[in-house]
Structure 1
């Protein structure tokens, strides 16, 4: 190989390394931006601003479930009052399970959407550079 060919190869190598550094820097800044966007959107105050009615509903349900205690009476398990108390207790348990399931499903969908946005953003960034 001649010196000219070696110089061309070195120049091409340096050019490729510079391009890789630039892509890495852009990816880092893009990931940092997405991370800050996600952390901003997951702040409780932002969630309340975006979904005020569901948040009020959930807080009322949690307050009811946490604050309502059934009356306890001795030997009342076969009476109407005992049945009502048992029924209310079971309904609270069921409502709690449903609320937790709904909240976790919503959170899973929300985070999956953010994950797809991040992947699509990285794909777009890498495709633009290719």
Structure 2
């Protein structure tokens, strides 16, 4: 299989790989050599499960508005408190959290600092 090829995994194969991983995790530990047949098989089964789950249960990227809302909630801050911390009006922060507009890169950076958000999350990368 070439690096760009994707695996076509059935639900039956997925369930088998998942069960096999459970069994292998009972016998593989920190002392097991990475080149041992059990570790190699565990790696293969893990790749199968990961690929299947990526295709069946994709995780969408959050919008800037969602990232800011989650950051506010996690920090227990209000929009007003964030506005004061970054030097903007509350209505401007409200526009960001409603998805009506997006912050400039500088403002996004300030919001990330205040809310302890990874810039990559804010930039959706």
Query: Do these two structures clear the TM 0.5 threshold for a shared fold by scoring above it?
Result: no
Structure with the bigger percentage of helix = 1
TM, length-normalised to structure 2? 0.29
TM, length-normalised to structure 1? 0.28
Larger Rg: 1
Higher relative contact order (CA 8 A, sep 6+): 1
